[in-house]
Copies of this chain bind each other. A is one copy, B any other.
Amino acid sequence: MQRSDAQRNRERILEAALEELTAGNAISLSAIAKRVSVGQGTLYRHFPDKDSLVLAVYHREVQLLVDSASGLLAAHPAPIAFREWLSRLAKFAVTKAGFADAMQQASRATGAPLHPGYVPVVGALTELIEANHAAGTIRPDLTVDDVLLMIAGVWQLSPLADWQAQAARLLDLIMIGMTTGAPHPE
């Protein structure tokens, strides 16, 4: 019986955290605990520390985006799918503004070479890059690491500015770099 209570709490914590992060607010565990009327300890029972909570929320949100890569590849030529997916990533970065900071923080803390939350994104990118290599539509030596560095700018886009135009220009320029020297340019 208690089990369902626990499950319920977990849900409500994730929900509240998502709302805060989506609004672009910095997250505070104490505040969230108070908001969902739960002891601090309960929060820590479900998520061992702050980063874990942020990661859990992020992971859920990013999943849809990541999953959409396959569909795009099925429906469009490889380079078009690539470009479209990056465009969706940019939108994600802007509309889930709070994640940009939070994730950046999380990565530095661990000193890991990669955001732990970036792993699913890397999965999608790998799929897109491989498809484009197979089609010969990007330079043969292009790696996931290259692309990760080139798209870092999307996390810097601001909802306040005209981010759609800025993102489009950024992606145009990036695509040129990635496609120049391709065996079978389109």
Contacts and interface: CB of A to CB of B under 8 A. Distances in A.
Interface in A144-183: 145-146, 148-158, 160-161, 166, 169-170, 173-174, 176-178, 180
A17 to B, nearest CB: 18
One complex includes copies of this chain to the number of 2
Interface string A56-93: 00000000000000000000000000000000000000
Interface string A113-152: 1000000000000000000000000000000011011111
B160 A146 contact: no
12 contacts: A101-B104, A101-B105, A145-B166, A146-B169, A149-B153, A150-B150, A152-B153, A153-B153, A173-B177, A176-B176, A176-B177, A180-B180
